[in-house]
Amino acid sequence: MIPEEIIIRKIRYVRGVKVILDSDLADMYGVETKRLKEQVKRNISRFPSHFMFELTKEEYLVLRSQFATLKQGAHSKYLPYAFSEHGVLMLSNVLRSEVAIQVSIRIIDVFVKMREMLTSQKDILYKIEKIENQLSDHSKEIQYVFSMVKQLLIQEEKPRRKIGYKQ
């Protein structure tokens, strides 16, 4: 079983989408990247652009500069494919091995967990924002109360008329 941390480290953001590169998937599936790409090309109709896309040279260079794992010459001379969550699922159908199925299920679970964490973070941010707004409203009210108290304290005391008998 592949540890969750390893899968998470292999997920990258490209074009605003969470993806895993073909070489990383091939490594997890225990196949050569070349063989994985062959299967994808044989079944290309199963991989629309939102399931899988080929990185541009610029995107590949940016990834290689960001991650030490993408060193010059360590990967294919061809531009890598990037697979979205749905592409990973489709890839398990194309590869048809028990290992591919189990690894794909593990990867999908990690994608789902990441999405749930993101959703819960958004909920927490919304609640914090709501509390901040309430506090700012209360802050204004508290400031008004303090200003009224200050006015009462600052008012000059007028000499009071004495009460009682005059002698």
Residue 105 lies in a domain: yes
Instruction: Give the CB-side neighbour count of residue 34, counting CA atoms within 13 A.
Output: 3
- Domain extent for 97: 4-121
**Tokens matching residue 10:** 């292999």
**93 within some domain:** yes
- Any domain includes 150: no
In a domain, 35, yes or no: yes
Neighbouring-strand partners of residue 11? 20
**What CATH number should be reported for the domain holding residue 116?**
3.10.260
Task: Calculate mean pLDDT across residues 88-113.
Answer: 87
Q: How confident is the model over 47-68, as pLDDT tens digits?
A: 999 999 999 999 988 887 776 5
The dihedral formed by the CA atoms of 47, 81, 23 and 87, expressed in degrees to the nearest 10: -30
Interstrand relation of 81-83 and 17-21 (parallel, antiparallel or unpaired): antiparallel
In which order are the strands placed within the sheet that holds 17-21? 11-14, 17-21, 81-83, 52-54
What are residue 39's DSSP bridge partners? none
Would the pLDDT of 158 be above 80? no
Strands (E), the chain: 11-14, 17-21, 52-54, 81-83
Three-state secondary structure call for residue 76:
coil
Residue 55 lies in a domain: yes
> Residue 123 pLDDT > 90, yes or no?
no
Split at pLDDT 50, 70, 90, the class of 1 is: confident
Q: pTM for this structure?
A: 0.65
The phi and psi torsions of 83 (rounded to 5 degrees) equal -110, 125
Whether residue 12 lies inside any domain: the answer is yes
User: Could you give the angle at which helices 22-29 and 98-154 cross, rounded to 10 degrees?
Assistant: 120
Q: How confident is the model at residue 167 (pLDDT cuts 50, 70, 90)?
A: low
Q: Is pLDDT of 25 > 90?
A: yes
Residue 58 maps to a domain = yes
Could you read off the pLDDT of 74-85 as tens digits, one per residue?
555 789 999 999
pLDDT band of 125, cuts 50, 70, 90: confident
Tally of domains in the chain: 1
Burial of 124 (0-12, 13-18, 19+ CB in 10 A): exposed
DSSP 72: T
Q: Are 120 and 66 in contact (CB under 8 A)?
A: no
Within a domain: 147: no
- Write the pLDDT tens digit of every residue in 65-75: 776 554 444 55
Name, in order, each residue with C-beta under 8 angstroms of 152's C-beta and a sequence gap of 6 or more.
Answer: none
